[in-house]
């Protein structure tokens, strides 16, 4: 066990189609930033001019304390396999779900149950799928983290995940097995619910992803040296982009790439759901000639604010509304790679197209001032991210400090990140939940990096992260099973004089820890389970930057089916892993 350093201190349920914001003819439309709170949410129907309504619930409902129970189940079947694709026109081996990158959209209403059957048809890799940001209240068994909540699904095996949509908004799912999601194992999720501003149409997710023509698994060796990995090849928007072939002898360069496109109709208001699913860098999102009204960060509705660009770190989501009020033309949609975070061969060429005329095929001739803004490897300013549902942080039962440092070991381990001098390294065959289920919690290896939360329900825990690594890189930290209450960030180490925001602080499940700085967050122990917190830079989580929050283990419960699935999957995995064809664990495992 790691020792932290303690300091004082619906009336009738809406159909899926109705909830998805289809356009309707209406007279004068109010401004995007109109007061949602002015509507009587108890006596209205969800629609283009009443997005705060949702049956017997509304945008004012405290979703941590109550959620609808629709009685509806949304069921999906996923097949994971190795295939060859050319997302940007360069053919390569990828890992895909149902033969597509990104994988299929998971779509549900707030309060639905979601069931996903995952079959692993890869040849030599295990896998597990994590549902990013889903709270999994009293449902830790379905969080999808190999070595923590389950053993990996072995080749030829299947696993069924089941969870309730107790939040609403935008997210994504991805493999949590090593670097797999950076090779294609990921896809979008939309949970329909109320919103803090009105709009006419929902255009769905805009998935922003860096992309490499060399497998990140092959690049892993170089990522383990202090100089870091080489430049990435390209980036994708909704699984598409263009790669310009420069070597006529490269038979893999097919030149078949294309841009993602959207159609705007003059005068309409469009919701776009931005997701950074990347391996290593922030994007600055912008649309030439248009402003963005931000209405949510991660799964948290916020008070709307208007800007001309949004910075998105890995794992984060922003929901924005765009008014189609520009002259009718073609416009570039931009995901501007932040090169100071990580190099990319096509840093300014991650582009989509907005067309007012759907018949047009002309390329835009537009620009944006964001092309000249300074690089930003952090987050949107905290003062802008004001949660609509106001929740204050309670007084801490305990406050603990973790210092980030870097250590270099003999290869193959190489460069590792440590919290209080220990790096995370799990054992796929002995997940934390299996040891808890078998009452074998006294033998956790030190590198499981277990943080035992205070006993008892609803205790507030404050965590202080200090970066003393002297590395010039921020870290997007993702917490499973909870939202962060982001109490403060700043330069240098946290001190007793550092300011904290306890009244309705920003809340989200992924927040950036500033380079050479501190981050203080709080959460309430209201969800028993083994919950991972880790950096969402895939290289860094592979290099051990994470730990487990073991919360009220005595209250972790399993149904008979869940217990059977846990043990049977581990038995099948162990049988596979003992064979000579297995994939050898070369990183932290997560």
Indicate which CATH number applies to the domain containing 456. Answer: 2.60.40.420
Is residue 8 a part of any domain in this protein? Answer: no
Domain assignment present for residue 510? The answer is: yes
* pLDDT by residue, tens only, the chain of 590 residues: 444 443 333 323 333 433 333 333 333 444 444 455 555 666 689 999 999 999 999 999 999 999 999 999 999 999 999 999 999 999 999 999 999 999 999 999 999 999 999 999 999 999 999 999 999 999 999 999 999 999 999 999 999 999 999 999 999 999 999 999 999 999 999 999 999 999 999 999 999 999 999 999 888 877 777 666 778 899 999 999 999 988 889 999 999 999 999 999 999 999 999 999 999 889 999 999 999 999 999 999 999 999 999 999 999 999 999 999 999 999 999 999 998 887 777 778 999 999 999 999 999 999 999 999 999 898 999 999 999 999 999 999 999 999 999 988 877 778 899 999 999 999 999 999 999 888 766 678 899 999 999 988 999 999 999 999 988 889 999 999 999 999 999 999 999 999 999 999 999 999 999 999 999 999 999 999 999 999 999 999 999 999 999 999 999 989 999 999 999 999 999 999 987 666 778 899 99
Tell whether 408 is covered by a domain.
yes
Separation CA 279–CA 282 (nearest Å): 9
The Cα 373–Cα 161 span in angstroms is: 43
Provide the number of structural domains found in the chain: 1
Query: Do residues 50 and 213 touch, judged by C-beta distance below 8 A?
Result: no
What is residue 353's three-state secondary structure? Answer: strand
The Cα–Cα gap between 546 and 460 comes to: 20
Q: Does 244 fall in a domain? A: no
Q: What are the E-state strand segments in 86-228?
A: 92-97, 106-109, 113-120, 129-131, 158-164, 169-175, 186-192, 201-211
Strands (E), 324-438: 330-337, 351-355, 398-408, 415-419
pTM of the model: 0.93
CA dihedral 578, 580, 586, 589 (to 10 degrees): -40
What is the rounded distance in angstroms from the CA atom of residue 219 to the CA atom of residue 484?
32
Domain range spanning residue 421?
A: 398-557+570-576
Q: Is residue 466 part of a domain?
A: yes
Q: Which SS3 state, helix, strand or coil, does residue 219 take?
A: helix
Q: Which of 112, 84, 90, 280 is nearest to 191 (CA)?
A: 112
Q: How far apart are CA 408 and CA 417, in angstroms?
A: 9
Has residue 310 been placed in a domain?
A: no
CA-wise closest residue to 315 among 165, 130, 509: 509
CA distance 308 to 370: 8
Buried-state track 433-464, b at ≥16 Cβ within 10 A, e below 16: bbbbbeeebeebeebbbbbebeeeeebbbbbb
78 lies in some domain: no
Is residue 404 a part of any domain in this protein? yes
Do you know the residue count of the chain?
590
CB neighbour burial string for 321-360, b if at least 16 within 10 angstroms, e if fewer:
bbbbebeebbbbbbbbbbeebbebbbbebbbbbbbbeeee
């Amino acid at each position: 066990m790691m020792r932290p350093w303690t300091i004082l201190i619906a009336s009738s349920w809406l159909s899926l189609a109705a909830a998805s914001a289809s356009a309707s003819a209406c007279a004068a439309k109010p401004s995007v930033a109109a007061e949602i709170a002015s509507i009587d949410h108890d006596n209205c129907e969800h629609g283009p001019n009443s997005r705060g309504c949702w049956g017997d619930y509304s945008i004012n409902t405290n979703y941590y304390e109550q959620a609808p129970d629709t009685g509806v189940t949304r069921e999906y079947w996923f097949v994971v396999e190795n295939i060859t694709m050319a997302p940007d026109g360069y053919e390569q081996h990828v890992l895909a779900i149902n033969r597509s990158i990104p994988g299929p959209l998971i779509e549900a209403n707030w309060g639905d149950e979601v069931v996903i059957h995952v079959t692993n048809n890869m040849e030599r890799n295990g896998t597990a799928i994590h549902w990013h940001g889903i709270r999994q209240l009293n449902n830790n068994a379905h969080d999808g983290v190999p070595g923590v909540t389950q053993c990996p699904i072995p080749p030829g095996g299947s696993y069924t995940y089941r969870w309730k949509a107790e939040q609403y908004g935008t997210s994504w799912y991805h493999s949590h097995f090593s670097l797999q999601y950076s090779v294609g194992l990921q896809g979008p999720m939309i949970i329909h619910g109320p919103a803090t501003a009105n709009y006419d149409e929902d255009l769905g997710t805009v998935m922003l992803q860096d992309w490499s023509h060399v497998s990140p698994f092959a690049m892993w060796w170089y990522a383990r040296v202090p100089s870091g990995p080489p430049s990435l090849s390209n980036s994708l928007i909704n699984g598409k982009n263009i790669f310009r072939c420069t070597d006529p002898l490269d038979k893999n360069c097919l030149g078949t790439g294309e841009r993602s496109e959207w159609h705007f109709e003059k005068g309409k208001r469009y919701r776009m759901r931005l997701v950074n699913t990347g391996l290593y860098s922030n994007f600055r999102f912008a649309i030439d000639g248009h402003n963005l009204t931000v209405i949510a960060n991660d799964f948290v509705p916020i008070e709307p604010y208007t800007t001309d660009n949004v910075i998105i770190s890995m794992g984060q989501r922003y929901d924005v509304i765009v008014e189609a009020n520009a002259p009718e033309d073609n416009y570039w949609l931009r995901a501007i790679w932040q090169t100071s975070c990580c190099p990319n061969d096509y840093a300014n060429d991650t582009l989509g197209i907005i067309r007012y005329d759907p018949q047009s095929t002309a390329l835009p001739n537009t620009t944006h001032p964001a092309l000249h803004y300074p690089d930003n490897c952090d987050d949107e300013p905290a003062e802008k991210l004001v949660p609509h549902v106001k929740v204050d942080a309670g007084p801490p039962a305990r406050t603990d400090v973790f210092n980030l440092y870097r250590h270099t070991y003999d290869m193959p381990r190489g460069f590792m990140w440590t919290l209080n001098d220990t790096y995370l390294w799990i054992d796929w065959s002995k997940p934390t939940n299996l040891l808890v289920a078998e009452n074998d919690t006294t033998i956790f290896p030190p590198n499981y990096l277990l943080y035992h939360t205070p006993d008892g329900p609803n205790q507030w825990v404050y965590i202080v992260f200090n970066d003393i690594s002297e590395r010039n890189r921020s870290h997007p930290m993702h917490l499973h099973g909870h939202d962060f209450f982001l109490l403060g960030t700043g330069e240098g180490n946290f001190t007793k004089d550092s300011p904290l925001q306890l009244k309705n602080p920003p809340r989200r499940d992924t927040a950036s820890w500033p380079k050479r700085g501190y981050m203080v967050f709080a959460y309430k122990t209201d969800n028993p389970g083994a919950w991972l917190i880790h950096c969402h830079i895939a290289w860094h989580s592979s290099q051990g930057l994470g730990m487990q929050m073991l919360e009220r283990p005595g209250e972790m419960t399993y149904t008979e089916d869940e217990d059977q699935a846990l043990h049977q999957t581990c038995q099948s995995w162990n049988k596979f892993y003992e064979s000579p064809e297995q994939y050898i664990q070369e990183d932290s495992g997560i």
